Amino acid sequence: MEVITTENLTKKYGSLLALDNLNLRIRQGRCVGLLGPNGAGKSTTIKLLCGLIRPSKGRAYINGIDPASDPKDALRDVGCLIEVPIFYRNRTPLEILYYLGRLRGLKFPELRERARECLELVRLSQWSKTKVKKFSLGMVQRLGIAQAILHDPSILILDEPALGLDPRGIRHVRDMTKELVRQGKTVIFSSHMLYETREICDTVALINRGRLLAYDRIENLEKIFNIRMVEIETVRPLSVHQLEKIKRLKPVRSVVNGGNGGNIIKINFDGDRNTCAELHAELVTNVGAKIISFKPSVGALEEVYLQLVQE
Ligand code: ADP
Ligand code: MG
């Protein structure tokens, strides 16, 4: 079943076309990454879905209801986190969740229990009675996720939830989102970070300058472009001669230094899993590389992304 659809959804700010005829269909239980560089139109899309701004043209539907005309019903089963949340600085997470929970029609004692659960999920239990003004950006962001899930919605719309967080904060957000997907929720997650999108989402909607460039499952996107990458770690850095030999192998498109003092290289090649196995054999027998590890690299989506954005 499709829980979110958009039909030619378009937004103009004055003469600027921020979103250009977006058509998306999102099925229940999917985790869709809305991926694009800054200014691509991610927040605009999310604000339209959440009924915060009105489309210039087209429509959106959440569970069949248009948030522009009937926001209350459309958003009943939706939790949102948009850009950076702002909370009353002199209040504590518990006070804030009780307040927002009552606004959403939750009542004690369930509200108390639910607030406790949500704070636990975002790992803020021990700070539940500390004023928000003492919080780091990451903690505020986590409280933002807690308020989004407070009424246990089945749809979550998160706009760059990891923005501005340190690596530990990013991991927390990632683990939390994965947990919510595992619970069966439908999640839209916007990001300008490929790596993060790849880790969390099963499907990617690539947007740039307000236009949808691709919308498919991650593995299909990689297949369409027939791009494969392997990351190889060797005992010693390969010699110039060896690298030249690799570049001359038939399926190889490019070879890049992957760091670690030259012990890691990334090979970009055309082909399938068999090609990958043949490549491995060539490297060992012909090139004489002493391989420690040989693994398909997470960079492949990045290649697809760069190609699309450049085109
Ligand atoms: P993203 O979230 O992908 O970074 P946005 O959706 O925020 O992108 O913005 C898309 C484009 O619309 C950008 O060029 C941005 O400058 C412009 N924009 C966003 N909000 C407004 C606004 N309220 N008024 C005018 N232009 C806006
Ligand atoms: Mg944004």
The per-residue pLDDT of the chain, averaged, comes to 90
pLDDT of residue 226: 63
* Structure token pair of residue 122: 């975002």
Burial class (CB in 10 A: 0-12, 13-18, 19+), 64: exposed
Could you tell me the distance, in angstroms and rounded to a whole number, from the CA of residue 18 to the centre of ligand 1? Answer: 6
Nearest Cα residue to atom 23 of ligand 1: 13
For 81, the 3-state DSSP assignment is strand
pLDDT reported for residue 112 = 96
C-alpha 51/C-alpha 142 separation (Å) is 23
Q: Ligand 1: does its nearest atom lie under 6 Å from the Cβ of 39?
A: yes
**Phi, psi for residue 76 in degrees, rounded to 5:** -55, -40
10: CA distance to ligand 1 center in Å?
Answer: 13
**83 Cβ inside 6 Å of ligand 1:** no
Strand partners, 269: 228, 252
Residue 15 beta carbon below 6 angstroms from any ligand 1 atom: no
CATH 3.20.20.70 assigned to 227-309: no
Ligand nearest to the CA of 82: 2
CATH 3.40.50.300 in the chain, residue ranges: 2-222
Ligand 2 mean position, distance from CA 40 (Å): 8
CA distance 118 to 105: 17
pLDDT band at 172 (very low <50, low <70, confident <90, very high): confident
Tell me the fold of 2-222: Rossmann fold (3.40.50)
Q: Report the alpha-carbon distance of residue 158 to residue 188 in Å, rounded.
A: 6
Encoding tokens for residue 204?
A: 């990617």
CATH 3.30.70.100 spans which residues of the chain? 227-309
The span from the CA of 214 to the CA of 58, in Å, is: 19
Residue 86, helix vs strand vs coil: coil
Establish whether residue 44 lines the binding site of ligand 1, counting it when its CB lies within 6 angstroms of any ligand atom.
yes
Query: pLDDT band at residue 311, thresholds of 50, 70 and 90?
Result: low
φ/ψ of 227, rounded to 5, equals -105, 130
Closest ligand to Cα 40? 1
Angle between helices 110-121 and 137-149 (to 10 degrees): 140
Q: What ligand has the least distance to the C-alpha of 44?
A: 1
Q: For the residues 2-28, what does the mean pLDDT come to?
A: 97
Q: How confident is the model at residue 77 (pLDDT cuts 50, 70, 90)?
A: very high
